[in-house]
């Protein structure tokens, strides 16, 4: 094939199309606005064809104003591509219906063919922010509208016009496929780069960069007001590296992360803070539940016997109530140090100290 299809996994398609819409939504807005303005400007040619004010076509030409104002209002308040992409096509079809309505008052509608060509171009450009399947569906509807216009105005050569518009449909849909395929390549590259920048290469856990993504814009305050913080690390990890080698040390860190994943929920966030230390944030959980999760991790590590070498962990816990998250991390760190100083295999909550 000249163009190799880029596959977007099913679970990522919604995010892909939302990113595509977000990237091109302003262009789509201007295409819709310009298409509506062109439709209204055609009123000047209507007046020229009757050598005066074309009163018959005023309503049909300017009827597009109301849906355009509604579209602009919705555009400012709705960001979902699932709503705005179809709405954009509805607006283009509204322009097309305005053309059909106007054509019933025009004595010489042969210049409608030029309008059809313009609509093909408008559809092609407006489609770059929408899923290609949705585009092909709405563009096919336009062919039906063209046939309806020709029928209402008794314009000859319908077969020829339909064949030309059919070729236009194939060309435009092919363009949408190639364009979306090219954008999919960029999307996959961007997501890989984002994944590399947010994840620890050894374990796959998040790195410290994730913390800034959990905060309100330009602050150190998390987006949720209540969350348990679990800070844990491997005891005497330096000795493990000295006695067994760094490869075994890396394996131990990976095995610990696998246990953390088993003991946490899907919306919990695990961050490798550096070395052998992990921070687990459990949203909307109080102290008792947070301690329970920490104890579950500690217990599984203590009972597991098939590690590369035997090790234990210490766990410090604190609860975030708002404000700068660094404060809560420091409190959990104090609890962690207390656990290390008193028993290298225990869970300590700062609130209980």
| pLDDT above 80 for 307 | no
Of 197, 230, 246, which closes a domain? 197
The confidence score (pLDDT) of residue 227 equals 92
170 and 281 both lie in a single domain:
no
Confidence of residue 73 (pLDDT cuts 50, 70, 90): very high
The confidence score (pLDDT) of residue 55 equals 85
Question: Is 29 inside a domain boundary?
Answer: yes
The confidence score (pLDDT) of residue 332 equals 95
DSSP labels, 158-213: HHHHHHHHHHHHHHHHHHHHHHHHHHHHHHHHHHHHHHHHHB-TTT--B-THHHHH
Percent of the chain with pLDDT over 70: 91
Question: Is 232 inside a domain boundary?
Answer: yes
The confidence score (pLDDT) of residue 338 equals 92
Burial (CB < 10 A; 0-12, 13-18, 19+), residue 279, is buried
Question: Is 1 inside a domain boundary?
Answer: no
User: Domain count of the chain?
Assistant: 2
261 and 340 both lie in a single domain:
yes
Question: Is 5 inside a domain boundary?
Answer: no
214 and 133 both lie in a single domain:
no
Of 162, 197, 232, which closes a domain? 197
| pLDDT above 90 for 228 | yes
| Averaged pLDDT, 57-78 | 92
89 and 189 both lie in a single domain:
yes
Question: Is 202 inside a domain boundary?
Answer: no
Question: Is 316 inside a domain boundary?
Answer: yes
pTM here is 0.64
Sign of CA dihedral 149, 151, 152, 157: positive
| pLDDT above 90 for 296 | yes
Find the CATH number of the domain harbouring 331.
Answer: 3.30.70.270
pLDDT in tens, 130-161: 888 888 888 778 777 777 776 766 665 566 66
The confidence score (pLDDT) of residue 94 equals 87
241 and 217 both lie in a single domain:
yes
Percent of the chain with pLDDT over 90: 37
The whole domain housing 287 covers 209-352
| Averaged pLDDT, 301-311 | 80
Of 157, 177, 197, which closes a domain? 197
Q: Which helix (H) or strand (E) holds 316?
A: strand 313-320
Choose between 70 and 147: higher pLDDT. 70
320 and 273 both lie in a single domain:
yes
Question: Is 305 inside a domain boundary?
Answer: yes
183 and 277 both lie in a single domain:
no
272 and 174 both lie in a single domain:
no
Pull the structure tokens for residue 175: 């363009």
Question: Is 4 inside a domain boundary?
Answer: no
Choose between 160 and 341: higher pLDDT. 341
| Averaged pLDDT, 246-274 | 91
220 and 175 both lie in a single domain:
no
């Amino acid at each position: 094939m000249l163009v190799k299809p880029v596959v977007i996994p099913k679970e990522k398609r919604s995010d892909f199309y939302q990113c595509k819409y977000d990237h091109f939504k302003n262009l789509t807005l201007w295409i819709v606005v310009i298409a509506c303005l062109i439709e209204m400007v055609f009123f000047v040619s209507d007046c020229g064809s009757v050598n005066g004010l074309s009163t018959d076509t005023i309503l049909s030409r300017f009827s597009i104003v109301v849906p355009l104002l509604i579209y602009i209002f919705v555009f400012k308040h709705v960001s979902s591509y699932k709503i705005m992409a179809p709405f954009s096509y509805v607006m283009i079809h509204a322009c097309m219906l305005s053309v059909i309505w106007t054509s019933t008052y025009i004595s010489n509608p042969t210049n409608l063919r030029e309008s059809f060509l313009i609509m093909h171009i408008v559809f092609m450009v407006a489609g770059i922010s929408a899923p290609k399947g949705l585009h092909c569906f709405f563009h096919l509807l336009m062919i039906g509208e063209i046939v309806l216009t020709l029928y209402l105005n008794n314009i000859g050569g319908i077969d020829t016009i339909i064949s030309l518009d059919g070729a236009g449909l194939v060309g435009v849909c092919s363009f949408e496929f190639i364009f979306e395929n090219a954008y999919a390549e960029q999307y996959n590259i961007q997501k890989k780069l984002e994944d590399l920048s947010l994840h620890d290469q050894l374990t796959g856990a998040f790195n410290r960069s994730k913390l800034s993504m959990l905060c309100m814009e330009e602050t150190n305050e998390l987006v949720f007001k209540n969350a348990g913080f679990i800070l844990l690390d491997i005891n005497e990890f330096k000795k493990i590296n000295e006695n067994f080698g760094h490869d075994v040390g890396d394996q131990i860190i990976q095995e610990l992360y696998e246990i953390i994943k088993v003991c946490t929920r899907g919306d919990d966030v695990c961050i490798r803070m550096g070395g052998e230390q992990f921070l687990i944030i459990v949203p909307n959980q109080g102290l008792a539940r947070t301690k329970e999760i920490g104890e579950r991790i500690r217990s599984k590590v203590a009972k597991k016997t098939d590690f590369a070498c035997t090790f234990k962990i210490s766990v410090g816990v604190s609860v975030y109530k708002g404000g700068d998250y660094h404060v809560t991390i420091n409190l959990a760190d104090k609890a962690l140090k207390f656990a290390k100083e008193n028993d290298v295999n225990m869970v300590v909550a700062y609130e209980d100290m």
